[in-house]
Amino acid sequence: MSAIVLDGKHVAQLTEAALTERVAALKAKTNNRTPVLATILVGDDPASATYVKMKGNACRRIGMESKAIELPSTTRTNGLLAEIEALNNDPDVHGILLQHPVPSQIDERAAFDMIALEKDVDGVTCLGFGRMSMGESAYGCATPQGIMRLLDHYEIELSGKHAVVVGRSPILGKPMAMMMLQADATVTICHSRTQGLEEHIKRADVIVGAVGRPEFIRADWIKDGAVVVDAGYHPGGVGDIEMAPLIDRVAAYTPVPGGVGPMTINTLIMQTVESGEKALG
Answer yes or no: are the C-beta atoms of 68 and 41 closer than 8 Å: yes
User: What does the angle CA 126 – CA 131 – CA 132 come to, to the nearest 5 degrees?
Assistant: 100
Nearest to 230 by CA among 202, 259, 263, 205: 259
Does the annotation mark 195 as catalytic?
A: no
Does the annotation mark 55 as catalytic?
A: yes
Question: Is the preceding peptide bond at 35 cis, omega within 30 degrees of 0?
Answer: no
Measured between alpha carbons, how far is 48 from 55 in angstroms, rounded to an integer?
Answer: 11
Count CB-CB contacts under 10 A for residue 85.
13
Q: Which of 122, 205, 230, 240 is catalytic?
A: 122
Measured between alpha carbons, how far is 201 from 207 in angstroms, rounded to an integer?
Answer: 7
Does the annotation mark 248 as catalytic?
A: no
Q: Which of 55, 119, 161, 174 is catalytic?
A: 55
Positions annotated as catalytic residues are 55, 99, 122
